[in-house]
Amino acid sequence: MDSLQKGPPVSFIMQTGGAVAHADSGHYRLFLNELAMCRLDVPFFVAPGNHDVSNDHENLFATFFGSREFWFDFASVLKLLLGDPLKLPEECSVGAGYL
């Protein structure tokens, strides 16, 4: 995270999976505490990876970060996350046919 503070300016950050090693509340809290210490002043998005959601019987990813599928607009470009690392594309609630 030091490189984010010392490097060139960024407009947003997307964590593309692997926020936690195990899907439990302790790991999620540790990740969020580390993130808070960075004091980022840009939007931060979390895309789920296999460790973030495997064995996530309590749906903790959604509790800490929200939906596994989302979109946002940045600089007139639509960014989409339409997947779940543990599902085939046709099993996701929003599929490619939606586009």
96, with CB counted inside 10 A (0-12, 13-18, 19+), is exposed
The β-bridge relationship of strands 44-47 and 13-16 is parallel
Q: What b/e string do you get for 53-65 counting C-beta neighbours within 10 Å, with b at 16 or more?
A: beebeeebbeebb
Question: Whole-structure pTM over 0.85, yes or no?
Answer: no
Tokens of 16: 């593309």
pLDDT at 14: 86
For the chain, which residues make up each domain, given as ranges? 2-98
Q: What is the mean pLDDT of the chain?
A: 79
Q: What is the pLDDT of residues 17-64, one digit of tens each?
A: 888 988 899 999 999 999 999 888 888 888 888 888 787 778 888 899
CA torsion angle 29 36 5 14 (round to 10): 60
Q: What is the pLDDT of residues 63-80, one digit of tens each?
A: 998 888 888 888 888 888
Q: Are 11 and 75 in contact (CB under 8 A)?
A: yes
